[in-house]
Amino acid sequence: MQTPKPSTSRYTILDRETVKLKSLLGRWETLLALLLIVVFAVNSIALPHFLDVYNLLDGTVNFSEKAMIALPMALLIICREIDISVAGTLALSSVAMGLAMNAGFPPETLPLVALATGTACGFLNGILVTRFALPAIVVTIGTVSLFRGLASVVLGDKAFTGYPQLMADWGQGYFFGIVPREFVVLLVFAVIFALVLHTTTVGRRIYAIGNNPDAARFSGIAVDRYRLALFMLTGAMAGVAAFFLTGRIGSTRPNIATGWELEVITMVILGGVSIAGGAGTIGGVMLAVLTLGVATYGMSLANIPGIYMTIVVGVLLLATIAIPRLLRGRSTRK
């Protein structure tokens, strides 16, 4: 048996890149984790009841539905697309559940109604973008008005109430009497999305499309099929969020989820997903979700009006888009 000859090459090719401390500290996810720790520590010192476990877990309901939509939105933005219509999709899905309930549908079918409505809205967005080559941002700005308008026409100045106990059990219920069901469902979805994006061929193709759609198409990837599927997935998750939100507040109102699209996109961009596509992780998005959630929870305990959180979200969105570009500009000049 012959022994392999030692390599005379000056270079060593590794199967995987070695993890270096400097590169690890320079990752966006590491900076987000440090920011989360700082926000958590400041709130713990400044607010006496912040560390109460029951309060902390109850605070997760304020962002769980938005984070459910942020997960597929991350995949869509990595793929160089965007969906501004998610709040309108959620509103229309909630109205569809109200109509189904009043029509005598069994309670078990209401989540399916919301899921089907959201998927249909995503399908419309995807078809307009992929089949007619229209810009996603223009299409979804138009459809958010369409979906929100349809919901407002159906509701008028009224609201759907009296939803079945099944929806309250999931929207307001707890596992083990302490952990909100919504938060557990969010964590399950986060694991599924992370596995798909980071460990499967589908995830690698999404990154490839985001980096260079033309090259991905020439390499045999069905680019338009993936883009359509991601629009439908985003709409479907908006329908899932509608089920939980409607169950939590117990009604469908004309102003339900107003302005959520800005917060969802902020979660994704703050999480390190490149607005130009081709880069980002689910871990980063979840860190951004938790950071914004802890900040919002702390502000609510401090009795700071919610309008100030809107200002914070806007500033964070601008900063996370502008700062990387400024840093790249400085390094290029050097």
Query: Lowest-confidence range among 48-62, 140-154, 204-218, 221-235?
Result: 48-62
Looking at residue 32, its pLDDT comes to 85
Mean pLDDT, to the nearest integer, of 201-208? 94
C-alpha–C-alpha distance, residues 122 and 127, integer Å: 9
CB 168 within 8 A of CB 250: yes
Mean pLDDT, to the nearest integer, of 51-73? 92
Confidence grade of residue 39 (pLDDT, cut at 50, 70, 90): confident
Percent of the chain past pLDDT 90, that is, above it, reads: 62
Looking at residue 259, its pLDDT comes to 86
Report the candidate in 148, 157, 33 with the shortest Cα–Cα distance to residue 94: 148
Reported as type and span, the H/E element at residue 249 is: helix 223-249
Cβ neighbours of residue 251 closer than 8 Å, sequence gap 6 or more: 159, 160, 161, 163
Looking at residue 15, its pLDDT comes to 47
Looking at residue 302, its pLDDT comes to 84
Domains of the chain: 48-318 (1.10.3470)
pLDDT beyond 60 at 227: yes
pLDDT beyond 90 at 160: yes
CB 225 within 8 A of CB 151: no
pLDDT beyond 70 at 80: yes
C-alpha–C-alpha distance, residues 287 and 37, integer Å: 10
Looking at residue 3, its pLDDT comes to 54
Looking at residue 276, its pLDDT comes to 86
Confidence grade of residue 116 (pLDDT, cut at 50, 70, 90): very high
CB 197 within 8 A of CB 273: no
Looking at residue 313, its pLDDT comes to 72
Residue 83 sits at the vertex; the CA angle it makes with 158 and 170, to the nearest 5 degrees, is 55
pLDDT tens digits for 7-32?
A: 554 444 444 555 555 555 557 788 88
Mean confidence (pLDDT) of the chain? 87
